[in-house]
Structure 1
Amino acid sequence: MTRPVATAVGFVAVLLWGVLALLTVGSAPTPPFLLNTLCFAIGGTLGLVWTAVSGGLGQLRTVPLHVYVLGTLGLFGYHALYFSALRLAPAAEASLIAYMWPLLIVLFSSLLPGERLRAGHVMGAVVGFAGASLIVTGGSAGFRADAIAGYALALACALTWSSYSVMSRRFGTVPTASVAVFCLASAALSLPLHLLFETTAWPVGATGWTSAVLLGLGPVGLAFYVWDIGVKRGDIQLLGTASYAAPLLSTLVLIVAGVAAPTWPLAVAAALITAGALLAARASLQGG
């Protein structure tokens, strides 16, 4: 698989994350950790079936234990920290801090062997972050001193996903099938947290269950597999910058579905995110 093709495959994850919000709304009133349990179980089972059909189950035994630990901490840790941050801090500000992960991926990628961090990548990531901030905050945000614990968890959330993505690159020979184990382990860890901290509420009706299943098949399933391919074999700087399209796509999907209304920050954000992606793409293509 060529580098451009792997980058395109990785971007499929960003497209899938674009419907995450809509499907999450559709799965209400299921609480976060129960939804995690259901979705990660579906995503992990999907991966195991695919691996079995392709005759690759044996390769899972060759994956080192520390890689399984890293992958599980990445998937489970990100979601656990994010949900915890939203409980302790305003959603807009916590989400904005958590969404520093694409920028951090671009910056951390300079530590990878054979990767060169260029000015265009950094500029593109910063411009993309500015666009994402407009979407998340609606053009205004006020940080509160009493929510410092939530902000810290949101920052830990961003560090967790960016570190997982960059470290995945260092384990480029590990088969993508290992993501199935990450998902199943994340489901197993989410269940006790649900039982301890949440009141059980299953998805309601056909819409609720369809949304939950689609979450497990797409944004909390297939997305992790294609993301693994992208960060291991593709242009990780360009992929990191392009990830700022996820909140833009998510908002557009909600507008089309009639769940949200169009606003002026959205138009400005779209221009900024597009400009950021073009800056990063130019840096990748021209080598400077």
Structure 2
Amino acid sequence: MTQRSATLVGFVAIVLWALLALFTVGTFPVPPLQLNALCFSIGGAIGMIWITYTKSWGDLKRVPLSVYGFGTLGLFGYHFLYFSALRAAPPAEAGLIAYLWPLLIVLFSGLLPGERLRSLHIVGAITSFFGASLIVAAGANFDAGNAWGYGLALACAFTWSGYSVLSRRLGAIPTASVMVFCIATAILSAIAHVFLETTAWPTAPIGWISILGLGLGPVGAAFYVWDIGVKRGNIQLLGTASYAAPLLSTIVLVGVGIADPKPALIASAVLITLGAGLAAFASRQTE
């Protein structure tokens, strides 16, 4: 698989993550960690079907236990910190801090062997961040009293960016290993749910459909294609392009009538597109 093809596969994850908010709204009143356990179970099932079809179960035996620990820590750690941050601080502010991860991916990628980080990569990532902030942090008002929640959100950003960048160093590890990450994350989420939440189930068919949609897409298949993208694709371009997720998510919500269109939408689209364009141009210069 060429770098360009792997990058395109990675873009699929960004498109799938754009559906995260839509499906999550439909899962009410299921609490976050219970939802995590259900969705990652479906995501793990996807991996089992794929591994069975490709007859690659033997590949999993060659994966070190440390890698399984790393992947599980990345997936579970990110979601646990994200949900905790949104409980400890206002969602807009916590969400904006958590969404520093694409910028951190671009910056950290410069530390990888064989990668060259240009100034345009950084400028593009920062430009796209400001574009995303127009959507994510509309009406945000930072308060020092929520410092704990902000800290959790920052830890969340470092967790996912670290997982994504370090995955690049594990290029020889088969993507099938993500199945184990998903199953382990589902188990840990279920345990955390028992101690931290009250169980609740969907009250209408749309709730179960939304859970299935999450497990098949944003909290399932997305992690497999993202693994391919960050291991074999253009990681700087993927990091910058990730800022399109909140924009696409908002467009989806507006399209189905859940959210109202805002003037900031156009400005956000322009900035995110400009940032991605700068990163793409910088990447072409390194080829």
TM beyond 0.5: yes
The Cα shift of 1:286 comes to 2.3
Q: Report whether the alignment pairs 1:223 with 2:259.
A: no
Deviation at 1:205, TM superposition (A): 2.2
In the alignment, which residue of structure 2 is the partner of 1:64? 64
Q: CA deviation at 1:198?
A: 1.1
CA contact (8 A) 2:116 2:286 kept: no
Show the counterpart of 2:96: 96
Aligned 8 A contact 1:13 1:223 in 2 = yes
Aligned to 2:189: 190
Task: List structure 1 runs of 4+ shifted beyond 4 angstroms.
Answer: none
What is the match of residue 256 of structure 2? 257
> d(CA) in 1 for partners of 2:141 and 2:23?
28
Q: Output one character per residue of 1:21-53: Cα deviation in whole Å (capped at 9) or x when no partner.
A: 000001111110000000000001110111011
Partner in structure 1 of residue 123 of structure 2: 123
| Residue of structure 2 equivalent to 1:36 | 36
Structure 2 partner of 1:159: 158
What CA RMSD, in Å, does the superposition of the two structures yield over aligned residues? 0.9
Summarize deviations over 1:177-211 as a string: whole Å, max 9, x none: 00000000000000011111111111222211011
Residues 76-117 of structure 1 show CA distances to partners (whole Å, capped at 9, x for unaligned) of 000000000011111100000000000000000011000000
Q: Secondary structure at the match of 1:9?
A: helix
TM-score, structure 2 as length reference: 0.99
Q: Secondary structure of the residue that 1:112 maps to in structure 2?
A: coil
Q: Whole-Å Cα distance in 1 between the matches of residues 233 and 283 of structure 2?
A: 11
* Distance across 2 between alignment mates of 1:273 and 1:3: 22
Which aligned pairs between 1:2-81 and structure 2 lie closer than 5 A?
Answer: 2-81=2-81
| Aligned counterpart, 1:276 | 275
Amino acid at match of 2:128: G
Q: TM-score, normalised by structure 1?
A: 0.98
Contact 1:203/1:212 (<8 A) preserved: no
Contact 2:98 2:153 in 1 (8 A): yes
Distance (Å, rounded) in 2 between the aligned partners of 1:120 and 1:6: 22
Question: Does the 8 Å contact 2:89/2:149 carry over to 1?
Answer: yes
What is the distance in 2 between the residues matched to 1:287 and 1:54? 35
Matches of 1:190 and 1:101, distance apart in 2? 22
1:287, CA displacement in angstroms?
A: 2.7
What SS does the corresponding residue of 2:110 show, helix, strand or coil?
A: helix
Amino acid corresponding to residue 152 of structure 1 in structure 2:
G
Q: How many residues align?
A: 287
Question: Percent of aligned pairs with the same residue?
Answer: 64
